[in-house]
Amino acid sequence: MIQTMPWLFLLCLFFISFLYASVGHGGASGYLALMALFGMAPAVMKQSALIMNIFVSLIAFYEYHKAGHFKWKLFVPFAIASIPASFIGAFVTVDPVLYKKVLGLILIFPILRLLGVFGPGSQETKPVNPYWAFFIGGAIGFLSGMIGIGGGIILSPVIILLKWGNMKETAAVSALFIFVNSTSGIIALLGKGMVIDHAVYIWVMVAVTGGFLGAYLGSKKFTNPVLNKILAVVLFIASIKLLGVPEKR
């Protein structure tokens, strides 16, 4: 049974969803990091992050699509492989110790992204290589389903580094990519008999509120490097906790 978290948890949840949605992400890696800091079990973390991801990423996609940044040609090659791979990955049960170590490594991607390591994205883009996109989408999709993320935080740097899309196009594609992968993953978990606790709905409402505000401002060229760095520090602390603290048995 999930217990309702204190106000500090809800405040951090709002903050994370706001910042992630502002760059077209659902926020699962941030939610997972936050829940890890509050000592929650991996099974609870996985389902809760996916559910919140679905709502926040859909809001982010709507705002970026409405602003004219979405490209189907960039999205489809990744999604064809990622959707079934995410469904399969969700059926994989990972040892709690290994789960937290993998999550700790994955958190490095949003930390680097928030610190601007991958750059602002090039305005001169190249055509997508469908074969590489299919392979990348499948790999990210499987990992996403297994861990409980949408995969956008990994996909975004790939698109930017390969110059397949600019920053806004990447955000729009990542948002829908996160939505379809998270939906596929949660359907798989429901098929395994997952029961959703009522407390998750409160978290969803908080995440949606922050996500709506973040997506709206993000699609209108909103940036806040100070807040991004603060979130990067929080994720770094969570990453160190997951990678370095011995698991109690």
The one-letter code for the residue type at 232 is A
Do 179 and 75 contact (CB within 8 A), yes or no? Answer: no
| Residue 159 contacts residue 165 (beta carbons within 8 Å) | yes
pLDDT, position 186: 92
| CA angle, residues 32, 27, 127, in degrees to nearest 5 | 125
Taking the whole predicted model, whether its pTM rises above 0.85 is answered as: no
With contact defined as beta carbons under 8 Å apart, do 242 and 103 qualify?
yes
Phi-psi region of 223 (alpha: psi -120 to 50; beta: other; left: phi over 0): beta
Q: Which residues contact 118 (CB under 8 A, 6 or more apart)?
A: 112, 156, 157, 160, 161
Distances (CA, A) of 6 to 31, 60, 72, 76, 183: 15, 27, 41, 40, 28
Enumerate helices (H) and strands (E) in the chain, giving the number of each.
11, 0
Question: CB neighbours of 64 closer than 8 A, spacing ≥ 6?
Answer: 24, 70, 168, 171, 172, 175, 215, 218, 219
* Residue 127, Cβ density class (10 Å: 0-12 exposed, 13-18 middle, ≥19 buried): exposed
Angstrom distance (rounded) from CA 5 to CA 39: 11
The pLDDT tens digits along the chain (249 residues) read: 444 458 888 998 998 888 888 777 778 888 888 888 888 877 788 888 889 989 888 988 988 898 888 999 999 999 999 999 999 999 988 887 788 788 888 878 777 876 777 665 556 778 899 999 999 999 999 998 988 888 888 888 888 888 898 878 888 899 999 999 999 999 998 888 877 777 788 888 999 999 888 888 776 655 556 556 666 776 777 778 777 655 444
Alpha-carbon span 9 to 3, nearest angstrom: 12
As a whole number of angstroms, the distance between CA 173 and CA 97 comes to: 32
For tokens 């040609």, the residue is 73
